[in-house]
Chains A and B, each alone.
Chain A
Amino acid sequence: MSTQWGTVARDLGRMLQALSGMMFVSVVVPVVWGEYYAVPALVLAGLLPFAVGRSLSWRYRDAPATGKLHGMMIAATGWLLVGAFGSLPFLFVSWTVALDPSVLAAPQMTSTLAAFQNPLNGFFESMSGFTGTGLTMAAHENVLPATLQWWRSFIEWVGGVGVIVLTTAILARPGSGSLTLYESEARSEKIHPSVVSTVRTIWWIFILFTFLSILVLWLAGMPLWDAINHAMTGLATGGFSVTDHSIATYHSALVDFAVIPVMVLGSIAFPVHYLMLQGDLKNLYTDAQTRWVFGFFGLGTLGLAVTLLGNGTYESAFEAVRYGAFQFVSAASCTGFQTAGSLGQTWSPEAQLLVSLGMVVGAAAGSTVGGIKLVRALTLVEGIRFRIRGVFYPESAVRHVRIDGRTLSETEAAHEFEEAAIIAFLWVVFLLVGVFVLLAVLPSGPSGYSLANVLFEVSSAQGNVGLSTGITGAAMSPIIKLMLTFNMWIGRLEIIPVLVLLRRIFNGAGLYA
């Protein structure tokens, strides 16, 4: 194996060992809830990635240090591998209940749990969790064992931190919009000289915000178990729920409005949170991305509320604002919590399109959200303005561009426009691939799904949002499950690392000159 792959294998081994640690730690949950039948399943699920991970990290312990290229390959492969091994708790717990060994006193099987006897459903659920998407194979989340409710929330929570680390420490480059903590010396008194210290600070902030969110949701009226799980998945903007109808279950405007700030917290770049906690509050309005997040959320909420009221979807302005605000923030933050039932059938196509726009664009880079990211959308807009204005200047003119609070030369600006355009273009390409596959496989016509529904569903998967028009479920064809899993994976990694990985694989197989 080449030294490059050796480095990748070693670090993947460490990731798998960390994953096994997550499973072993989670044994507390079935013990507390009295679900003792789930303990052997969790322990076995943890032993497998531990064994594989230990073997890899030991075998390649002398591989070279990790570089930038390795980082992208590790991120791409790592997300796939943790998705695969992360499905084991679903598989083993459901099979434990199915086989029902008398000594374990397993409960009655439910159709929701039975779906996870299919490894592909567990893989889909696990990838949906780790990518922070939130599309689910579970028909009724409330009947899942608490062990699996916890596992779903835990993997979204860890996946949320993972994407912050990914974008602030591995993928950060000019034009990506990500601000690395150790590159923000100009704004911060504390310098983080290494990725390790960056990661630990991110965890510190994330844990503090999680505790805060749990208490806010509990005070708003959510039961504590629900508050713990929804705080974790809301902050990670993942959207898995422990209830059957997401946040709509609570029928409470107070709960709706309490969840919104949790999702907004997860949508703001974490380096900005770090500066705010140090007392630098002006970043809430001086940081361009944070300003845009508030502006985008505000305008989108207003647009959606006006559309819903105008269409007569809701009778009162308060209801239109309540559901419009929640759903737009849920979509643009890529959380995927739902308060409006039957988005696919009840809301008008214009309202769905607005929500789709929110899903595709997303919020700040360096946060937990998915989508193309606001900064890229605005970079593209600025690029168009720059090009059109350039017509009125002589060729000899020296021009500068301001993007995201930075002044760039023409060359630097061109590089950033190119980056944003490439990501946006590839995003649309893979979105269309997913739409094509779903259209080819799904039934259409009056009893089937419209193009708007399919576009919404694939946007939701690739934007790692998780809102659904009803297409996603255990009854989907395996082709669609695999396609949407691919869309979730490539969307989470912002396309490029997956293409880097595929190129390395094709190079290695001699398929690419």
Chain B
Amino acid sequence: MTPEELPVVGVVCEFGADDHLFDLLVLAGPPVILYLAVAGRSVPSEAAAVLYVCAFLGNVLYRGLAR
């Protein structure tokens, strides 16, 4: 079974923008936010948030320049 065959993952991949990183960010959103709720404001939690935002912005720029 591939990840795309899983119920939620499959829907996210099918209706997204044909990019696995964006699909991953959609799936990772709730766990990241849950982590912030549990861990509170700390260096690791802020690093996780910064990583998420940078991953999004970086991928937008990368796809734009690659095109």
Contact = CB atoms under 8 A, between A and B. Distances in A.
A88 B50 CA distance: 39
Contacts of B18: 190, 278
Interface residues of B, number: 29
A274 B63 CA distance: 13
A224 B30 CA distance: 13
Interface stretch (A200-208, A301-309, A360-368, A393-401): A200-208
Contact of A224 (B29, B36, B61, B67): B36
Given A211-B29, A215-B32, A219-B53, A204 B16 contact: yes
Contacts of A276: 60, 64
B66 A279 contact: yes
B61 to A, nearest CB: 8
A279 B59 CA distance: 9
A407 interface: no
A207 B15 CA distance: 12
A207 B29 contact: yes
A281 B63 CA distance: 8
A367 B50 CA distance: 27
Nearest to B63: A279
| Chain B, interface SS category | helix
A278 B63 contact: yes
A208 B15 CA distance: 12
A190 B19 CA distance: 12
Contacts of A208: 22, 25-26, 29, 56
Contacts of A280: 64, 67
Interface string B20-41: 0010011001101100110000
Interface string A179-207: 00000000000100000010011011101
Contacts of A205: 17
Given A201-B16, A276-B60, A280-B67, A211 B22 contact: no
A351 interface: no
B67 A279 contact: yes
A212 interface: yes
A219 B49 contact: yes
A212 B12 CA distance: 16
Nearest to B48: A215
Contact of A211 (B11, B15, B16, B25): B25
A214 B33 contact: yes
B4 interface: no
A246 B61 CA distance: 33
Contact of A201 (B15, B19, B46, B52): B15
Contacts of A210: 29
Interface string A255-283: 00000000000000000001011111100
Contacts of B17: 204-205, 274, 277-278
A203 B50 CA distance: 24
A219 B22 CA distance: 20
A154 to B, nearest CB: 15
Interface string A201-235: 10111011011101110110000100010000000
Given A211-B26, A277-B22, A224 B37 contact: yes
A340 B16 CA distance: 38
A212 B67 contact: no
B36 A211 contact: no
B52 A211 contact: yes
Contacts of A212: 25, 52-53, 56
B36 A207 contact: no
Interface of A: 190, 197, 200-201, 203-205, 207-208, 210-212, 214-216, 218-219, 224, 228, 274, 276-281
Given A204-B12, A204-B16, 18 more contacts: A197-B15, A203-B15, A204-B15, A207-B26, A208-B25, A208-B26, A208-B29, A210-B29, A211-B25, A211-B29, A212-B25, A215-B36, A216-B53, A218-B36, A218-B49, A278-B18, A280-B64, A281-B60
Interface of B: 11-12, 14-19, 22, 25-26, 29-30, 32-33, 36-37, 46, 49-50, 52-53, 56, 60-61, 63-64, 66-67
29 contacts: A190-B18, A200-B11, A200-B15, A204-B12, A204-B17, A204-B26, A207-B29, A208-B22, A208-B29, A211-B26, A211-B29, A211-B33, A212-B25, A212-B53, A214-B33, A215-B36, A218-B36, A219-B50, A224-B33, A224-B36, A228-B33, A274-B17, A276-B60, A277-B60, A279-B64, A281-B60, A281-B61, A281-B63, A281-B67
